[in-house]
Amino acid sequence: MKLLEIISLYYKKINSIKNINFKSFDFKNYHLKRIGKNNLFKEKKGSIFTGLSLLFIFCFIISIILILNFSMSYQEIISASEDSNSFNYVIENHNKNIPVLSKVVISKLADDVIKNHNPSYDSREIVKDEIQKKLEKQEEYYQLKNGINIENEVLSVYNGKDPFHINVKTIVNAKKGKESYSNVVESVVSIEGLKDPLPFLMCREHPTLIENGTKIDYNDALSYYMVKNGLLNPKIYENATGSLIIRKCIYDPYKIHGEGYCMKNCIDNGYFHESADGSCYLCRLEGKGSCYHYGLEVFIVPQPKKNINGNITEKSISGSDHVLFNDHYPGNIVEFFKKDDISEILVIDDSHRAKYGIL
Ligand SMILES: [Zn+2]
Ligand SMILES: [Zn+2]
């Protein structure tokens, strides 16, 4: 009995537990599901709001950073533009201006030399003194406009490695309040665009040569010079033409002058060439046809000839300007261009033929 009672009690208990468990689980589960859904929705809603606020704060911080950055760079621009009126900017501008002023000085000297047919006795010293004067005028300007004390001392005017350049060395000292500057400024002045004074000085005894745009018409000035110096066949250089304005030849290496129309274009443009024998620009101002500096040479071109047939045996002095004006060695006539029965010619020696690739 006892065993039966125990079994029946045990069974009832299990049953009741089962029932209770089943009901409560079902109900709770259902309830939980409902609660869960609501919570999830609420949670979702909450997280959207939280996300939006975070995004808003993030945007706000970014905007602040951007505004700060902008105002900082704006401040920098303002201080940079303030700086443009300031010490370093003025000094930099002043230094850039030295070669510009120097070229004006050299050009003026060349004009005077050409006009008066009178060589400069010491071009380097004269150019140096004139640049010094110009810079001193600038000193007053900077003092008045920027309140900056600038002092310049031109140390030297000299040849650089490139014969198309002249170098100027200047000590520049400057002071404004606590700011100061001291430097040796080396300026490079291009001589391109300046007039060649040499022909006017070499032919100064009989100066019938004239400027004709970018060229020189020699008229009888060069043939007179040749007669005077007892040179071969002066007649060929009657009414010869030469180059007035210094321009650097574009046909480099020079050997390509022998190809196509290069020589014709070179002569038409009056290009100048580098030459160890030709005189440098500063010595040209002194009337020297030759100097020990690395220099320049340009062709002097006889009048075109009519009806040249076959080999021309006529000779004269080679038409590189330093040869005509200094070394005087003979050359043969070379036709570098022909149209109809008119031949454009040069008198040229063997070494210049080789230099310019003329066979
Ligand atoms: Zn050339
Ligand atoms: Zn020289």
Using CA atoms, how far apart are residues 152 and 168, in angstroms rounded to an integer?
Answer: 12
Is residue 296 scored above 50 in pLDDT? Answer: yes
State the ligand closest to the CA atom of 326.
Answer: 2
CA of 286 to the centre of ligand 2 (A): 9
**pLDDT tens digits, 1-15:** 454 455 455 555 545
The Å distance, Cα 341 to ligand 1 centre, comes to 25
What spacing in Å lies between the alpha carbon of 140 and ligand 1's midpoint? Answer: 44
Tell me which residue has tokens 């140390």. 155
Evaluate if residue 202 carries a pLDDT over 80. yes
Neighbouring-strand partners of residue 195: 245
Tokens found for residue 220: 């009888």
**Calpha distance 126→286 (Å, rounded):** 11
Once rounded to an integer, what is the mean pLDDT over residues 20-43? Answer: 44
Cα–Cα–Cα angle for 284, 289, 291, rounded to 5 degrees: 80
Question: What is the 355 CA–ligand 1 centroid distance (Å)?
Answer: 11
Question: Partners of 159 in the beta sheet?
Answer: 166
* Residue % of the chain over a pLDDT of 70: 76
d(CA 248, CA 304): 24
Ligand number nearest to the C-alpha of 276: 2
Question: Residue 165 Cα, ligand 2 centroid: separation in angstroms?
Answer: 12
CA 214 to centroid of ligand 2, rounded, Å:
23
The DSSP code sequence of 105-142 is HHHHHHHHHHHHT---S-HHHHHHHHHHHHHHHHHHHH
Rounded distance from Cα 143 to ligand 2 centre (Å): 38
pLDDT of 163 over the 60 cut: yes
Residue 344 in this model has a pLDDT that exceeds 90: yes
What does the pLDDT average to over 100-108?
A: 98
Q: What is the mean pLDDT of the chain?
A: 85
Please say if the pLDDT value at position 18 is more than 50.
no
CA of 250 to the centre of ligand 2 (A): 23
In this prediction, residue 8 carries a pLDDT of 53
pLDDT of 65 reads 56
Residue 307 is predicted with a pLDDT of: 80
**What is the torsional sign of CA 202, 203, 207, 208?**
negative
> Which alpha helices (DSSP H) does 211-293 contain, by range?
221-228, 262-269, 281-284
User: What residue has token string 């010869």?
Assistant: 240
Any bridge partners for residue 306, and if so which? 342
Report the phi/psi class of residue 230: left, alpha or beta, with left for phi > 0 and alpha for psi in -120 to 50.
left
pLDDT beyond 70 at 132: yes
> Do the beta carbons of residue 229 and residue 328 sit within 8 Å?
yes
pLDDT-derived band of residue 58, with 50, 70 and 90 as boundaries?
A: low
Contact 291, 280 (CB under 8 A): yes
Rounded distance between C-alpha atoms, residue 227 and residue 333, angstroms: 19
Cα four-point dihedral sign 75, 81, 87, 93: positive
Decide if pLDDT at 81 tops 70: no
pLDDT value at residue 335: 92
296 Cα to the center of ligand 1, angstroms: 11
From the CA of 266, the nearest ligand is 1
